[in-house]
């Protein structure tokens, strides 16, 4: 792994992303919702934040990551990079860094827009980033499997639904589903936010969600490795 290559890829990737309206929507949409929800008087600030961060995590590390990788395939730049002595790992790391940068930027913006007090700022940011890290491999899997941007969008759907499921399930008031939902990384993240804002630090309220998120990190990493061995990056 060579740092100067990753740096060049990172710089170019960021610049290119900011000119790409098709994928900027994934970044801007959660921010838009933050403005919308924060303007509603009935919406608690904490909930507004959790909701928009969840949306951002369903979009940025999964759909955005998958789409930017798929576009490099679609436009032949991926093959060109590989022929210019760039390794698959260098490309994937650069893409992951770009997406994680936007995970962080989004979380910071959403935090401010929702108007939360500064007391828990850092903890909330760390939790958001930690969860983003746990699911970025799903985005990489989408990128490996998709041949073009269109199929990346489609392949992201099941992952996005899974990550957003806690929202729908919370409305259903079903015990079984609620139990299942607590096994999802985004649900665990929301539980952590709740525990912290209530300053309730027990194993059940903090320890278990952390274990859940860490498990997803391992699961998505294993899935990524299986898919990578099967199809590679430049297929």
Partner 1 sequence: MIIVNNLSISFGKKKVLNNLHFHVQQGEIFGFLGPSGAGKTTTIKILTNQLIPTKGSIQVNASTSQIGILSDNSGVYERLTVWRNLQFFAELHNSQENVEQILKKVKLWDDKDKKVKDLSKGMHQRLLLACAIVHKPKLLFLDEPTASLDPATVEAIHDLLLELKNEGTTIFLTTHNMEEASKLCDHIAFLNKGKIVELATILELKLKYALNKVRITFNDNTTLEVAKDKKELIKALQKTNASIISIHSLEPTLADIFLQLTGRNLK
Q: At what angle do helices 185-197 and 208-231 cross, to 10 degrees?
A: 150
20-59 positions binding partner 1, by CB under 8 A:
20
Q: Which H or E run includes 212?
A: helix 208-231
Q: What is the DSSP letter of 84?
A: T
In whole angstroms, how far apart are CA 57 and each of 40, 103, 232? 22, 7, 25
- Classify residue 60 by burial, with Cβ atoms within 10 Å: 0-12, 13-18, 19+: buried
Q: Which of 28, 44, 75, 225 binds partner 1 (CB under 8 A)?
A: 75
Residue 10: CB minimum distance to partner 1, A: 11
Q: Which of 5, 58, 136, 186 binds partner 1 (CB under 8 A)?
A: 5
Q: Which of 12, 25, 154, 157 binds partner 1 (CB under 8 A)?
A: 12
In whole angstroms, how far apart are CA 72 and each of 9, 15, 80, 101, 234? 12, 14, 9, 19, 10
Contact stretch for partner 1 (CB under 8 A) within 52-60, 72-80, 178-186, 190-198: 72-80
Residue 99: CB minimum distance to partner 1, A: 18
Contact stretch for partner 1 (CB under 8 A) within 13-21, 94-102, 130-138, 201-209: 13-21
Contact stretch for partner 1 (CB under 8 A) within 29-37, 75-83, 105-113, 135-143: 75-83
81-110 positions binding partner 1, by CB under 8 A:
81, 83-86
Helix ranges (H only) for 173-201 are: 175-181, 185-197
Residue 153: CB minimum distance to partner 1, A: 19
Separation of alpha carbons 119 and 121, rounded Å: 6
The residue count for binding partner 1 (CB under 8 A) is: 23
Residue 3 within binding range of partner 1, rule CB under 8 A: no
Q: Which is nearer to partner 1, 68 or 213 (CB)?
A: 68
Q: At what angle do helices 149-172 and 121-145 cross, to 10 degrees?
A: 130
CA-derived radius of gyration, the chain: 18
Q: Which of 54, 70, 78, 114 binds partner 1 (CB under 8 A)?
A: 78
Q: Which residues bind partner 1 (CB under 8 A)?
A: 4-5, 7-9, 11-12, 15-16, 19-20, 72, 75-81, 83-86
């Amino acid at each position: 792994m060579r740092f100067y290559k990753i740096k060049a890829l990172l710089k170019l990737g960021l610049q290119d992303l900011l000119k790409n309206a098709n994928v900027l929507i994934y970044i801007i949409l959660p921010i838009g919702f933050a403005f919308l929800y924060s303007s509603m008087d009935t919406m608690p600030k904490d909930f507004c934040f959790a909701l928009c961060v969840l949306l951002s995590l369903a979009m940025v590390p999964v759909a955005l990551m998958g789409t930017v990788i798929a576009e490099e395939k679609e436009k032949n730049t991926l093959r060109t990079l590989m022929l210019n002595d760039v390794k698959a790992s260098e490309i994937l790391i650069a893409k992951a860094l770009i997406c994680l940068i936007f995970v962080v930027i989004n979380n910071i913006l959403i935090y401010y827009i929702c108007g939360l007090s500064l007391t828990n700022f850092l903890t909330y940011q760390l939790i958001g980033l930690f969860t983003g890290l746990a699911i970025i491999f799903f985005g990489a899997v989408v990128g490996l499997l998709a041949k073009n941007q269109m199929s990346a969008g489609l392949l992201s759907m099941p992952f996005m639904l899974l990550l957003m499921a806690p929202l729908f399930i919370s409305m259903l008031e079903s015990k079984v589903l609620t139990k299942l939902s607590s096994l999802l990384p985004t649900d665990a993240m929301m539980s952590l936010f709740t525990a912290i804002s209530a300053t309730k630090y027990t194993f059940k309220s903090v320890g278990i969600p952390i274990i859940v998120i860490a498990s997803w990190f391992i699961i998505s990493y294993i899935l990524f490795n299986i898919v990578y061995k099967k199809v590679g990056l430049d297929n």
